[in-house]
Amino acid sequence: MNHRFFILLIIINFSSTCLYAQKISFNNHWQFIGIEFATKEKIDSTRKLGNKWNDQFLTEEVNISDSGNKINKNIRELLQPLQHLHWKKVQLPHIAFPEPLVIVKPREGIAWYKKSFHISKSNRHKNISIYFEGAMQVADIWLNGKFIKRNTGGYLPFELDITKLVHFDKVNTIYVRLDNRANPLVPPGKPVQKLDFIYYSGIYRNTWLIIKNPLHISSPIGTETKDGGGIFVSYPQVNTHFANISIQTKIVNHFNNRQSFQLKQILLDKNGINVSTVISGVNTIEAGMQFTANQGMNVKNPALWHPNHPNLYTLQTFVVQKEKIVDSMLTQIGIRSFEISKEKGLLINGIPTRITGTNRHQNYPYIGNAISENANYRDAWLIKNAGMNCVRTGHYPPDPSFLKAADELGLLIVNTIPGWQFYNKDSSFQNHVFSDIRQTIRRDRNHASILLWEVSLNEAYPPAEFRCQQVTVAKEEWGNRKNFYTSGDSYFKKACYDVPYDDWNDDPGARNNTTYPNNAFLIREYGDYEFGGGNSTTRQLRANGQDALLQQAWNLQWEHNKNRKSYPRAIGDLNWAFFDGLAGLMVGIEGWGVADIFRIPKFSYYFFQSQRDILINKSSLVPTGPMISIAHYWQQPNKWNNVVVYSNCDEVALYVNDKLIGKQKPDSGPETGYGNNLETGGNPFDAGNANHLNHPPFTFNAIKFIPGTLKAVGYAGEKIVCTDSITTPGNAEKIEIQIAENGKALQANTDDLVFVYASIMDAKNRLVNNASLPITLKIDGDASIVSPATVNAEAGIASFLLKTNKKTSKLILTANTPHLKTGELVISIGKKNQAN
């Protein structure tokens, strides 16, 4: 084999003029018509959940065999009523029916998309397909007037082989008809008005045009054979000195005759250095058939993947015919091993690892699930920056870019299938669940970050036999490979999961697991509903003020501390949830998040951040080391007459107007009950209930409020390592604009979504956190405001949503309100922003 020739072709693989395989963005130049369903149903605009523990369980069990959603393949007949309507130019990802900030009734309807495109005749003998990452929720597709297929399910990808339908050097037109209503045969299946999240609408994830040689690596999701197609990487042996990597590659032959080929695998480290290579002998594959190749690769002294050091490799796979590469694929992998047991908890690469994590819904306000790849990365960065190491993707598989970010940042993933409090006994629904399990595994199996595969229907409680069948399907898909653990709801029915979730036993304080006495378990949701249901004292918007945000932080501290008593059998806990949410079953923002719906942190965010190690981790992509944060606005009222400081330091000194109030070690008071009952707020900030935390808070009691500056100084031994201060704000004087880049700056030649914060400041640049004035944002430049242009500030900050595009280069943002100095921010993409 000529190795110089291989190096040349590797370079070509990364260029946009790839000679043997093309994956081209298909997001541009779409057109759209939306037809919203009218309703005569009376809408309760004040509906909320009850405040009892059982009010959260709205589980439905049905037996419905017909959804009523029949296929009409006659495209001309379907388009006839649209003739008088205007097709709007749009770009993907796209929400068909945008929502207001506060949703009274989620919008439902039929969304039509069409796109015209050309394929060069030079591709006449290639294999051509279109790949949709996600479209909500029942999709009918036509190409050049011919019906191709119906795809059901809004959270998983589907691929259309258009090789035999495409016209070369002529106009091709694709139509996609979407119905975003719940379908009882399609998980989750539950009507949105009974759902504790929202489906939203549109082709809300990326689309791709894929052009390949007829002899190529198959698509992971494009075949119904066992474990799908594509590349499947596993790790039979892993330690710090040696790793054995197993690579399964499936090749398809769409030529009309037998083909011969070789398969070459090259493993590159983070610096692009080749650390291992393997090449097969000559293989033959008959026309129309699939070939499975299994290859082994050894790596000495591997850089292992772990949440604390998420080392990644790039696997290059080449299909070679007569020293010519005809297809290739890049797979990002992380070498690691997982071991979970009741006695040892979770071991990653043999290292005990305790989970401190959260749950995440993927939506943004206004545009729902149609967010950019960079926006997904920023969400992951915020979670990692909060000191957490695990995310449950409740209650559906996330965007692929979020998993990629988790791999890079070091976030473990509990990957869920679509489902929430709904079970249909009909076989069509059950088979769809099994298909979702297979497709989720096929799509995501090579991500280093995925720890658990949640194959249960969240809080649906089907028969134990069905739950065990879900596990069987998952394990058939994975085969005999290592590092595979299923998880799911147990709740009094033993159902075969490797890692069951905690049993509540009608007692939200117990959170043990009596159904699986010999298994390790995970506390997969805590901190919200047990503290008062729909009126939970954890559900606090930033506008609710200092005391309310402290109550939320106390609830989470009290329960997180209690949960950790069960380690190692309880491998960890996941709070509900990271960001504030929206739901179809209630009106208003659900304030359960440690950050609000605009991604602004609350006090509880810094409680979790304080649980990180005080040592600096140079391999981390988020800040590490000593931290300190005062959970206070330092203004009246102050309900508890105390000051809580979150820090990972040994000692903290507190000053008021430069006068030392006290210097103390972390809280070490007794472990007590919550106080009275879980619905009324308990007895917070008693300087106890913290002995199981990595770093208990510092509670300073009987602190008299004096206007001025409150300062906290953190010590490691006798050395000052960090400080924080907050000053009582003066009168509102001006506006300051910030871009919420959160680990990912705005980039040139990129379609992006980013939050813009217009903060109301006093004359000395201090946030006036009780201000709620209306602020108007204006843009000079090639970008748009997705949110309303005028919004009221919440706790001193007005939040807007900005959309940039590939042409965006320079923007001038101005924010104004009567009687305050206008704020201005000049953004030069790729350069440091300038505020005036």
Least confident piece of the model among 24-33, 206-215, 225-234, 764-773: 225-234
pLDDT tens figures, 564-597: 999 999 999 999 999 999 999 999 999 999 999 9
8 A C-beta contact, residue 785 and residue 801: yes
pLDDT on residue 834: 62
pLDDT score for 788: 97
Is 90 exceeded by the pLDDT of residue 55? no
pLDDT score of 506 = 58
Residue 409, φ and ψ in degrees, nearest 5: -90, -25
Contact 577, 556 (CB under 8 A): no
Residue with tokens 């204006």: 778
pLDDT at residue 235 is higher than 70? yes
Mean pLDDT of 108-119: 97
Residue 13 pLDDT > 50: no
- Note the pLDDT tens digit of each residue in 428-462: 999 999 999 999 999 999 999 999 999 999 999 89
Six-digit token string for 795: 């706790």
In our burial notation (b when 16+ CB lie closer than 10 A, e otherwise), range 234-257 reads bbeebeeeebbbbbbbbbbbbbee
Q: Is the dihedral of CA 680, 685, 688, 691 positive or negative?
A: positive
For the stretch 260-279, pLDDT in tens is 999 999 999 999 999 999 99
CA distances from 224 to 76, 136, 227, 408 (A): 32, 22, 8, 30
Which residues are 828's β-sheet partners?
Answer: 810
Q: What residues form DSSP beta bridges with 319?
A: 263, 327
pLDDT value of residue 815: 98
Helical residues (DSSP H) of 189-327, grouped into ranges: none
**DSSP H or E segment with residue 603:** helix 603-609
Residue 19 has what pLDDT? 40
Condensed to tens digits (0 to 9), the pLDDT of residues 118-139 reads 999 999 999 999 999 999 999 9
For residue 643, the cross-strand partners are 700
**Cα Rg of the chain, angstroms:** 27
Report yes or no: 539 and 556 within 8 Å, Cβ to Cβ.
no
- Give the pLDDT score at 50: 73
Report residue 621's pLDDT band, with 50, 70 and 90 as the boundaries: very high
pLDDT score recorded for residue 505? 60
Interstrand relation of 450-454 and 412-416 (parallel, antiparallel or unpaired): parallel
Strand intervals (E) in 459-569? 486-488, 499-500, 521-526
Q: Tokens standing for 253?
A: 């032959």
- pTM, full prediction: 0.95
Which pLDDT value is given to residue 16?
27
Position 61 confidence tier, pLDDT thresholds 50, 70, 90: very high
In the prediction, which pLDDT does 64 show?
A: 94
- The pLDDT of residue 508 is 62
Render 434-475 in DSSP notation, one character per residue: HHHHHHHHHHHTT-TTEEEEE-S-TTT---HHHHHHHHHHHH
Asked which of 28-32, 649-653, 749-753 is least confident by mean pLDDT, the reply is: 749-753
The tens digit of pLDDT for each residue in 155-174 reads 999 999 999 999 999 999 99
Q: Is the pLDDT of residue 208 over 60?
A: yes
* Rounded distance between C-alpha atoms, residue 348 and residue 483, angstroms: 10
Q: Which amino acid is at 669?
A: G
- 678: helix, coil or strand? coil
pLDDT over threshold 80, residue 835: no
What pLDDT shows up at residue 197? 95
Q: Do the beta carbons of residue 522 and residue 510 sit within 8 Å?
A: no
Cβ burial of 108 (10 Å; 0-12, 13-18, 19+) is buried
Can the peptide bond before residue 395 be classed as cis, meaning omega within 30 degrees of 0? yes
Task: Calculate mean pLDDT across residues 243-265.
Answer: 97
Residue with tokens 């011969």, as numbered in its chain = 260
- The DSSP code for 107 is -
pLDDT digits (tens, 9 = 90+) for 570-579: 999 999 999 9
What pLDDT sits at residue 11?
Answer: 32
Query: Within a 13 Å sphere around the CA of 671, how many CA atoms are in the beta-carbon half?
Result: 11
Tens of pLDDT, residues 460-517: 989 999 999 999 999 999 999 999 999 998 776 788 999 999 876 656 667 778 888 8
Q: Which residues pair with 409 in a beta bridge?
A: none
Neighbours of 494 (CB within 10 A): 14
Share the mean pLDDT of the chain. Answer: 93
3-state secondary structure 292-327: EEEEEEEEECCCCEECCEECCEEEEEEEEECCEEEE
Residue 490 DSSP SS3: coil
Confidence of residue 749 (pLDDT cuts 50, 70, 90): confident
Question: With 70 as the cut, is the pLDDT of residue 831 above it?
Answer: no
Q: Which residue reads 């089907």 in tokens?
A: 462
Q: Any idea which of 522-531, 674-683, 717-726 has the lowest mean pLDDT?
A: 674-683
How large is the average pLDDT for residues 811-832? 91
| Pairwise CA distance, residues 600 & 108, whole Å | 29
Split at pLDDT 50, 70, 90, the class of 147 is: very high
pLDDT tens, 359-373? 999 999 999 999 999
